Structure 1
């Protein structure tokens, strides 16, 4: 221990970060700090250093804080040391257990660091003083002041009673020579607590019955104090006497209120939290069931909140959540909102993260509910001005109604959540009412996701290949690899039934890597088997294209398969390429330098910005099927196709038209100068075996 240190502090916590922060907060030359990461180590260090105070975490692996506290009290100096239990705020029962284990005081996490250091020093000083007082009864008055104790005595004969000076101070009486009566005290007792005090005093007078009560005192300036009064009634040679002590427990009550607040309220937005809201919802459902009224539950989720949080930081994210809470509450205060609960603060809660809930009672009109939801949606279409930033975050809202959509808390919450997820599926920035059909649809999507997670492990995916035809030679020059899923129950599934789910769950990354590996390997085998340098086109999803490991994946696939880079063409949508141009150009350039071909898939259906054609190292423009379908009968589609072909020719790019199904389309595209064709007119997508039979027959296609 440092010779200059006055006190030794023992910090016991299994979390090194918490210990470091506590140590930094208590940094003071008068304090010598030692650390323990477990209860066992704390007992060892306690015996060695005999600390003045121990800050003891409740929840630790192995020996918990309560057990450790009891063990410390048995050690030498264990009764003289202040032991402060540190507990999380939502476990109020830990406080009672702490005192039962012998704790001096408690602190709650998370700490308010500036107050933390002051609180520890206060406990240190108070404990030191109390130890001194235990050795000298002459310091009793000081001990009473520290403990906020007030002493009084009454002989049952006079109207006034004797008391210590601090009662005058508490009541704001300047003249300490003035006698104080019970009538004087009664005038200061909070009106709601006067009946309790009168009853206790009456029993003391009439039945000589001691009492132990709590009540509130209100001073002349309106300040409120909580008091704990304990009495004893004795008889001596002067007759009966009642002796009482008053203790100011205001700080304890405030701590209890803080614990209750942290348990039931969100400290960021000051809204009820999930725990309180569920309790309120249970009560509201029981009342609605009894009175046969309706009840509406809304789940509100901020769209793209994670992206905002990651981009601008948690400070902006927290500010956005506070502003969002205010906007939701404002929408429910509008004058035309009728027949809703009077307890406005109880209607809105922060349920979790970026999710809020709204409870509306006794509104039977669906149009009114829709109007409220639309009002909230419209409110969030305006930007948030946060620290000089214009931040946009729309909302997706799910609505479930009691009792139609659920007759208990769990069902109602689940169905409101289902409706909210459906709103997100429909593009966000909207609201949806729950329906059984919606539930079935989302259940099916959830089942698809679960099956997808097993599909790769079970080797259920396979590739079909659709031939791509050279217009001049009418022979196959390559294939587009198309994913299929051989589902164990539903049979062979096309990508439209599962790709959307795969992309939304990020499973597309692993699936896309498998497709790339398999397509390269299969094409190389065909090249070797049939002595022909066919290429293979592989579609990349936007998520694949935007991930950092794409370049490495392509390199690994080419190296593992032996396929020449020139035989691989990656098809990328316009939307994916234009998401982040600053990253797209270097990535495309690196792929180009590797020797891989690059094609814009579905050209003309996305942004169609001509500037990127100049800057991006593209090889091929792929004319979308939507333009090919009506190319013969619709002059506008024909003009678009012709423009794409001419544009590609002027830029030195290849063109390939997909979805070709008729001879007329073939002839028209050939006349336009399109170089390659793909579609059912030549061949549908084929499994590996049928492709090999086709190639074995001399690369000839039987026209449809």
Structure 2
């Protein structure tokens, strides 16, 4: 009967059924049996029934959380042998420490990278199985050594020669014909371990104290063996004798090293992982505190790495990470600062997570030294990556903190380095920034503003103001531009300049933009009914809205719900947003035109200003930016630019609207140039609904 291989059991614990399903699909194979649990309580039941080899345990669950569940599982039968991996979106050092304190073997951070997830679980299973085998072998070895000599030797403390088994010669690499002495045997011991063995032998000779130690032997062929030596001392027939046994534990040591590697190193880049990095940082802090020294922590992040993964696939992204790790290594290895470190320079570089790397620099005397290395790192990424016949350009943003100026513990230094790196991103990427308290305060204010924005959207703190657009000849109101305002509970009425960038970066602009579109169309439709005039309403679209596939459905739904005639809705788009991805832009613009809405280019002349797209895009209106209107009376160049835009629009049968008209002189010149419509403070400021209703009545 053929032997069947016992499947390894995987217990997946997560309250989210979608996550459990995706994990199960990723791990499904003939070698594994998958068991699921939807809560901590259910996990204890399933663990007792199936006794899994590995448990993937979600941290954040209702009822019993992952930390408590982990501690409970460890107390069950086979709980000590099972590998328990915490699956968490938490990234704080304290959470990670709590995971290991509760008994976790390792942790995996969310969101999960599915191509790597299956391999990670397989490697942890392999390491855990090796650990179990080592434990079993150790017990067998202890029993075997108690009843038999494996490789043995004897010494009477007086002669210089050793009596030993024939296998002892083969282990040391000696010929059996020679007489083995204590001195010649000691020469085979690794120089770093020799002192330890000599001390043990002296205690055996003078104090009659047996020993059990491990050390390395260098064989004649240069190979290294790890051996365990156990001794027993006896007094027989008036003479002291010591008997020792040697056991080759090289394979066990190699397995231990492999387990250590999986626990402390990133398998993709061979760099230290977060766990080892945190230990190194703690050691660096203790050493710097003891010697009153200063060190630097660099936090590196690859710019737009997500675009590489999404565009070319994770296999290309993984190769970028490997090559990036190598470039960082080479820069750090070449540094005089790091060359003075007390341990392997490669260990000064770590992969923290994803596309985030860290560098520790010892014994800093001048900030200029750190800046020089930061410039060297940025320069190392100036050359393109050549992967799968593709030239990929990647840059890095670097945040730098100094101990003790910027923090005295792991959590603070990491947080401040992350803040500095984030600031480098805001400065345009591909640069480095040192941490400062003002930078930290700025980030706190940003986070407060982001939280306030979320509250504002849910509590409807936003308002829509309207600025009239006038016909240049009749001076009648023909259109209204909808402008967002935020009535902040403590800061008063805010214009978009204060918050729009945060709304864009957080994705809140999508919800805000949809709300503005609905409010503006509903209000202008009411004015149309009351006045009998077909007022046009202009609504600005952000770059984020314009790239969303649901924009077309959103506009169609808004028109249907409000009853606004499509030809009286004008969507304003900047040149930058319009030309970001023309392959998607052109079909979207034509689809919007089919709905009957008008399209305008906002701030025309300040973006790409490429005339070629005007013939391909179904545009109705060009809005002359206020920068060309401000000095149109005194600056002939601004006047010439405005004239060119008007003539261009006229030749292409497009309408022109001048923004920012603040004086009668500006209006007169623009009227003479042929501009069709005006908008600005000279005619009217943006007004709330009640005031604009009065204006329209008169």
TM above 0.5, yes or no, is yes
Paired position in structure 2 for 1:370 = 371
Partner residue in 2 for 1:667: 668
Instruction: Report the Cα offset of residue 455 of structure 1.
Output: 0.8
Aligned pairs for 1:612-627 within 5 A: 612-627=613-628
SS at match of 1:516: helix
Q: Residues 268 and 318 of structure 2 are in contact (CA less than 8 Å); yes or no, is this contact kept in structure 1?
A: yes
Q: CA deviation at 1:204?
A: 4.6
- 1:348 maps to which residue? 349
- Partners of 1:551 and 1:148 in 2: CA distance: 83
Provide the residue aligned with 2:652 in structure 1. 651
Higher alpha-carbon deviation: 331-340 or 505-514: 331-340
Aligned to 1:302: 302
Checking the alignment, whether the CA contact within 8 Å between 2:218 and 2:225 is kept in structure 1 is yes
Partner of 1:12: 9
Partner-residue secondary structure (3-state), 1:457: helix
Count of aligned positions: 647
Tell me, in whole angstroms, the C-alpha distance in 1 between the residues paired with 2:230 and 2:160. Answer: 20
CA distance in 2, matches of 1:510, 1:555: 16
TM-score (norm 2): 0.81
Deviation, 1:113, is 7.1
Asked if the contact 1:154–1:160 (Cα under 8 Å) also holds between the matched residues in 2, the reply is no
Would the aligned equivalents of 1:538 and 1:571 in 2 still touch at CA under 8 Å?
A: yes
Q: Residues 305 and 317 of structure 2 are in contact (CA less than 8 Å); yes or no, is this contact kept in structure 1?
A: yes
8 Å CA contact 2:514–2:554 kept in 1: the answer is yes
Do the aligned partners of 2:153 and 2:165 also contact (CA within 8 Å) in 1? Answer: no
State the SS of the aligned residue for 1:456. Answer: helix
CA spacing shift, 1:56–1:332, aligned 2, 3 Å? closer
Alignment of 1:445-460 (within 5 A): 445-460=446-461
Cα separation, partners in 2 of 1:315 and 1:527, compared to 1, 3 Å: same
Deviations 1:41-84 (A, max 9, x none): 67767xxxxxxxx972256687977556549xxxxxxxxxxx97
Contact map agreement 2:483 2:686 (CA 8 A) in 1: yes
Q: Indicate if the aligned counterparts of 1:9 and 1:34 stay in contact, CA closer than 8 A.
A: no
Matches for 1:679-694 after TM superposition, within 5 Å: 679-694=680-695
1:104 — aligned with what?
Answer: none
Describe the superposition over 1:516-574 as per-residue Cα deviations: whole angstroms up to 9, x where unpaired.
Answer: 11111111111122222211100000011001111111111111212121121100011
SS in 1 for 2:271: coil
RMSD of aligned C-alpha atoms? Answer: 4.1
Structure 2 residue 472 is matched with structure 1 residue 476: no
Deviation of the 1:356 alpha carbon = 2.3
Decide which structure has the larger Cα Rg and report it: 1
Within-5 A mapping of 1:462-473:
462-473=463-474
Deviations 1:313-336 (A, max 9, x none): 222222222222333333345578
2:148 and 2:482 mapped to 1: Cα distance? 82
> Aligned match of 1:110 in 101, 120, 125?
120
Separation (CA, whole Å) in 2 of partners of 1:544 and 1:693: 33
- The answer to whether the Cα contact below 8 Å between 1:577 and 1:584 also exists between their aligned partners in 2 is yes
- Shift of the 204–224 alpha-carbon distance from structure 1 to 2, 3 Å rule, reads same
Q: After alignment, is 15-24 or 629-638 more displaced? A: 15-24
Report what 1:379 is aligned to: 380
Q: Residue in 1 aligned with 2:53?
A: 56
Identify the range of structure 1 (595-604 vs 154-163) with the bigger mean alpha-carbon deviation.
Answer: 154-163
Contact 1:274 1:352 in 2 (8 A): yes
Give the equivalent residue in structure 1 for 2:417. 416
Pair 148,272 (structure 1): closer, same or farther in 2 beyond 3 Å: farther
CA gap of 1:288–1:201, structure 2 versus 1, over 3 A, is: closer
1:408 CA drift (Å): 4.4
Task: Give the Cα separation in 2 of the matches to 1:341 and 1:203.
Answer: 36
- After superposition, give the CA deviation of every residue in 1:463-492 in whole Å (9 maximum; x if it has no partner): 100001112221111100000011111000
Question: Once the 2 structures are TM-superposed, how far is the Cα of residue 201 of structure 1 from its aligned partner?
Answer: 4.2
Structure 1 residues without counterparts, runs of 5 or longer = 27-32, 46-53, 72-82, 99-107, 135-139, 698-704
Residues 223 and 86 of structure 1: CA distance in aligned 2, closer, same or farther (over 3 Å): farther
User: Structure 1 residues 5, 471: closer, same or farther in 2, change over 3 A?
Assistant: same
| Contact 1:58–1:66, Cα closer than 8 Å, also in 2 | no
Q: How does 1:442-521 map to 2 (within 5 A)?
A: 442-521=443-522
Q: Secondary structure at the residue paired with 2:299?
A: strand
* 1:379 shift after superposition: 2.7
Q: Helix, strand or coil for the counterpart of 1:472?
A: coil
Quote the residue 2:430 is aligned against.
429
Q: CA deviation at 1:433?
A: 2.7
Contact 2:155/2:161 (CA < 8 Å) preserved in 1?
no
Q: Residues 471 and 677 of structure 1 are in contact (CA less than 8 Å); yes or no, is this contact kept in structure 2?
A: yes
- Aligned-partner Cα distance in 2 for 1:423–1:34: 47
SS at match of 2:391: strand
Report the TM-score when normalising by structure 1.
Answer: 0.81
SS of residue matched to 1:276: helix
- Structure 1 residues 176-225: Cα deviation after superposition (integer angstroms, max 9, x where no partner): x8775555543322233334334444555566544322222221112112
Question: How many angstroms does 1:441 deviate by?
Answer: 2.5
Distance 2:402 2:149 in 1: 55
C-alpha spacing 1:581/1:637, structure 2 compared with 1 (3 Å): same
Q: Secondary structure at the match of 1:467?
A: strand
Moved more, 609-618 or 318-327: 318-327
Q: Is the 8 A contact 1:542 1:576 kept in 2?
A: yes
Partner Cα distance (1:584, 1:34) in 2: 48
Partner of 1:275: 275
**1:265 offset after TM fit, Å?**
3.1
